[in-house]
A and B are shown apart, each in its own frame.
Chain A
């Protein structure tokens, strides 16, 4: 099993350009998440999808859109990139085995630089 995969691994954009970050999981999980990590900070939730066909905002959604294409895939789109969106982006999917066994599995990340 590949787990959670993300493409691309690295990307450099100019201000105003758009791009889509791709994420896929092969663990048959219902919920998926997009986070960003900035230096000296923890991961912050951008958007999440509790199940196929639903999406909702997290802590820092401004400037982003998402699409839950199917159960496996959850993409993050930057419509008009800004330097403040320079960050490392992580996708995660969630295994909720029970009320008290609840784990998110992360992809390797996409390092994005906006010039």
Chain B
């Protein structure tokens, strides 16, 4: 049973427009969420994160929104650039309390293509 799902395998947008990547989760114990970006033949690189005490976090062109009642998060990239073309993974963890192991559960990934 997949606890973190990215239902869109791919997304194509025009340069300068907004890219919206979506992620759903089922485990209500998750309280910390991350987005990673991955280029071919490289390891994932951290992009942005959000704690469940917030509903929005921004870092430059990247904003993550969290809707806890819907168990849904999204990553907005504005404006999109060709260099943003990569695979994006969302990940979740249960971060609070004792025995915090930092274990991450990943979604399947969404391949973003930004066309010039």
Hey, which bits of chain A sit against chain B, CB under 8 A? 4, 31, 33, 35, 40-45, 48, 50, 56, 58-59, 90, 92, 94, 96, 99-109
Contact = CB atoms under 8 A, between A and B. Distances in A.
Contacts of A100: 32, 51, 53, 95
B42 A109 contact: yes
Contact of B43 (A44, A99, A106): A106
Interface residues of B, number: 30
Given A43-B44, A99-B96, A104 B4 contact: no
Nearest to A32: B102
Contacts of A94: 102
B75 interface: no
B49 interface: yes
Nearest to B96: A99
Contact of A109 (B34, B43, B49, B93): B43
Contacts of A58: 103
Contacts of A106: 36, 43-45
Contacts of A42: 4, 6, 89, 91, 105-109
